[in-house]
């Protein structure tokens, strides 16, 4: 049976409905993983769950050891990774509460450990990243949304920034000119590291706020929290449906 990993982000530090069989504290040569990995069953499927920001949400985006996390999932023998990301919506269609299965990435991050090959690089380690997300996994998430009766945006460009601060309005205007639909802080280098280890990877993005300058007033954590509660419930339904549908 194949094993699906789910990396939970903000608002998804635990996976309701996961029957936990055991917790694995995985040792990696890259250092500490965000949290013990929960191994169990979710809607009849073998699933491992990793809380990207730690179980108590104590790790901000720039402190996450992305290499350790992806290596741990590889070590546990997972076949694919579904990442869940809370994001800001840039383009008009990306309103608060919208779920998007992005198809492209622009990486604005810097100073993150972004490759497994920093020391022992060989020319074969230039991974192809034309399509950063695995298309079959993306389609199975879109199908899951359809099966669950949930609306999703089937494409979107995810711009990944360092954070932890949110952007200025001008930065968001620039990102929009670049072609970004969404802004978030955790999509990279996670997606590239998964590709380096040959793990199919796709993301379910929940828009939790309109990006800077796209709505009147400040972006408040209270407003974000309100969107997260209902939104992550729908994200769980979507993932459950995509695991259940045979394909
Ligand atoms: N910008 C960057 N990251 C985010 C945002 C945002 O507006 N909302 C949630 N994560």
Classify each residue of 116-151 as buried b or exposed e, where b means 16 or more C-beta atoms within 10 Å of its C-beta: beeeeeeeeeebeeeebbbeebbebbbebbbebeee
**If you take atom 2 of ligand 1, which residue's CA is the nearest one?**
184
* Total tally of structural domains belonging to the chain: 1
pTM of the complete model: 0.96
107 falls within a domain? yes
**Ligand 1 centroid – CA 9 distance (Å):** 12
63 falls within a domain? yes
247 falls within a domain? no
27 falls within a domain? yes
Contact indicator for 146, 93 with CB cutoff of 8 Å: no
218 falls within a domain? yes
107 pairs with which residues across the strands? Answer: 160
159 falls within a domain? yes
CATH number at residue 133: 3.40.50.1580
Distance CA 205, CA 154 (A): 11
CB 197 near ligand 1, within 6 Å: no
Say how many Å lie between the first and final Cα of the chain, rounded: 14
Residue-level pLDDT at 245: 64
Structural domain including 83 reads 4-242
215 falls within a domain? yes
What averages of pLDDT result for each successive group of 10 residues across the chain (247 residues)?
A: 91 81 94 96 92 92 97 98 98 98 98 91 86 98 97 98 97 98 98 98 98 94 93 95 74
Residue-level pLDDT at 169: 97
Three-class DSSP labels, the chain: CCCEEEEECCCCCCCCCEEEEEEECCCECCECCCCCEEEEEECCEEEEEEECCCCCCCCCHHHCCHHHHHHHHHHCCCCEEEEEEEEEECCCCCCCCCEECCCEEEECCCCCCCCCCCCCCCHHHCCCCCCCCCHHHHHHHHHHHHHCCCCCECCCEEEECCCCCCCCHHHHHHHHHHCCCEEECCCCCHHHHHHHCCCCEEEEEEEEEECCCCCCCCCCHHHHHHHHHHHHHHHHHHHHHHHHCCC
**Ligand 1 centroid – CA 211 distance (Å):** 7
Contact indicator for 200, 121 with CB cutoff of 8 Å: no
* Mutational test site, ligand 1, from 83, 86, 99, 169, max ligand atoms within 8 Å of CB: 86
Contact indicator for 174, 106 with CB cutoff of 8 Å: no
Residue-level pLDDT at 15: 79
Residue-level pLDDT at 247: 46
């Amino acid at each position: 049976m194949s094993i699906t990993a789910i990396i939970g982000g903000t608002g998804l530090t635990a996976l309701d409905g996961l029957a936990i069989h055991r917790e694995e504290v995985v040792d990696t040569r890259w250092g500490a993983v965000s949290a013990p990995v929960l191994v169990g069953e979710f809607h009849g499927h073998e699933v491992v769950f990793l809380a990207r920001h730690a179980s108590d949400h104590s790790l901000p985006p720039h402190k996450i050891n992305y290499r350790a996390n992806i290596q741990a999932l590889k070590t546990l023998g997972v076949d694919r990774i579904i990442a869940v990301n809370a994001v800001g919506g840039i383009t008009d269609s990306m309103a608060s509460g919208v779920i998007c299965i992005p198809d492209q990435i622009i990486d604005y991050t810097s100073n993150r450990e972004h490759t497994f090959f920093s020391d022992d690089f060989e020319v074969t380690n230039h991974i192809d990243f034309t399509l950063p997300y695995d298309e079959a996994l993306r389609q199975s998430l879109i199908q899951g949304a359809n099966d669950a009766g949930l609306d999703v945006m089937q494409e979107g460009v995810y711009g990944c920034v360092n954070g932890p601060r949110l952007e200025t309005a001008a930065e968001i205007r620039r990102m929009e000119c670049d072609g970004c639909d969404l802004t978030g802080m955790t999509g990279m280098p996670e997606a590239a590291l998964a590709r380096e280890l040959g793990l199919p990877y796709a993301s379910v993005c929940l828009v939790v706020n309109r990006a800077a300058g796209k709505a009147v007033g400040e972006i408040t954590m209270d407003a974000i929290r309100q969107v997260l509660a209902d939104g992550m419930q729908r994200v769980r339904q979507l993932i459950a449906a995509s695991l259940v549908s045979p394909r």
